[in-house]
């Protein structure tokens, strides 16, 4: 028998070269339930990842980058999944409709871009994270992390901030309290704490540098988005 993945010869249940099963199980209800359980289980699943990132984000993210990448959920999957959770809850309760209004500007390219980003928080967080990572690289250069390692760290921390928003969105949707601003404050506090914890938790200045990096990253992203929107509007008018 030949492995369908790497074309190596297979004499047992698994390929000796790549580990691919010699015969795939048929996809049925049991397979789907097993996959869901695999994602959610508390031992190396998303619940385990959330718990570890709440308790000790710095150590766990450092371990993921330099030692063990099997304990936590993949960072890009994590940020997209947590962003999707918040997006679904927000749309279900129409949370952001009361906060974000584009009266008289709905035809501008900038507003259309913002609308797309609002509907795709996973991509928006990754895009915003690229600018934040640049500023983190500037302020924390001495720690030796490259741009992509910092982006991985941001996927984890910003994923947790999305879950914080999701929890407050549920409370606001059910009880009709205005909590999105409070969620933003708590989310930012977590981001600053987790980032300072990642670099060197006992160094107070790291937390202020983390806050500045997040603010500058978000401002830079907003200015670039505004510039792109204005440029598109100018080009389409001529």
pLDDT digits (tens, 9 = 90+) for 55-73: 999 999 999 999 998 889 8
pLDDT at 121 over 60: yes
How many distinct structural domains can be found in the chain? Answer: 1
- Mean pLDDT across the chain: 89
| pLDDT tens column, 123-134 | 999 999 999 999
- Give the pLDDT band (50/70/90) at residue 160: very high
DSSP 86-155: HHHHHHHHT-GGGT---TTTTTSHHHHHHHHHHH-HHHHHHHHHHHHHHHHHHHTGGG---HHHHHHHHH
Handedness of CA 67, 72, 75, 77 (dihedral sign): positive
- Asked if residue 85 is part of any domain, the answer here is yes
- Asked if residue 142 is part of any domain, the answer here is yes
Measured CA to CA, the distance from residue 12 to residue 14 in angstroms comes to: 5
Q: What range defines the domain where residue 203 resides?
A: 41-237
Give the model's pLDDT for residue 29. 87
- Asked if residue 28 is part of any domain, the answer here is no
Give the model's pLDDT for residue 105. 56
Percent of the chain whose pLDDT exceeds 70: 91
3-state secondary structure of 2: strand
- Asked if residue 2 is part of any domain, the answer here is no
Contact 233, 109 (CB under 8 A): yes
Give the model's pLDDT for residue 116. 87
- Asked if residue 203 is part of any domain, the answer here is yes
| pLDDT tens column, 9-38 | 888 888 888 888 888 778 888 878 777 666
Burial category of 111 from C-beta neighbours within 10 Å (exposed 0-12, middle 13-18, buried 19 and up): middle
- Asked if residue 35 is part of any domain, the answer here is no
Mean pLDDT lowest among 65-74, 146-155, 212-221: 65-74
- Asked if residue 6 is part of any domain, the answer here is no
Give the model's pLDDT for residue 10. 86
- Asked if residue 53 is part of any domain, the answer here is yes
Residue written as token pair 């992390």: 145
């Amino acid at each position: 028998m030949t492995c369908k993945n790497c074309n190596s010869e297979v004499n047992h249940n698994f390929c000796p070269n790549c580990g691919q099963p010699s015969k795939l199980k048929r996809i049925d209800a049991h397979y789907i339930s097993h996959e869901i359980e695999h994602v959610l289980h508390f031992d190396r699943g998303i619940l385990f990842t959330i718990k570890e990132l709440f308790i000790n984000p710095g150590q766990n993210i450092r371990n993921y980058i330099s030692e063990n990448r099997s304990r936590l959920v993949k960072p890009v999957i994590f940020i997209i999944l947590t962003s999707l959770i918040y997006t679904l809850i927000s749309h279900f309760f129409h949370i952001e409709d009361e906060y974000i209004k584009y009266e008289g500007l709905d035809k501008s390219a900038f507003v259309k871009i913002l609308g797309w980003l609002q509907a795709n928080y996973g991509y928006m967080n990754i895009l915003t994270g690229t600018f934040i990572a640049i500023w983190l690289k500037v302020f924390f250069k001495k720690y030796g992390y490259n741009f992509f390692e910092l982006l991985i760290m941001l996927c984890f921390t910003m994923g947790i901030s999305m879950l914080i928003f999701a929890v407050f969105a549920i409370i606001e949707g059910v009880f009709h309290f205005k909590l999105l601003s409070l969620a933003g404050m708590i989310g930012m506090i977590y981001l600053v704490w987790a980032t300072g914890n990642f670099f060197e938790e006992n160094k107070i200045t790291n937390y202020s540098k983390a806050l500045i990096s997040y603010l500058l990253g978000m401002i830079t992203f907003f200015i670039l988005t505004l510039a792109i929107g204005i440029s598109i509007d100018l080009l389409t008018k001529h």
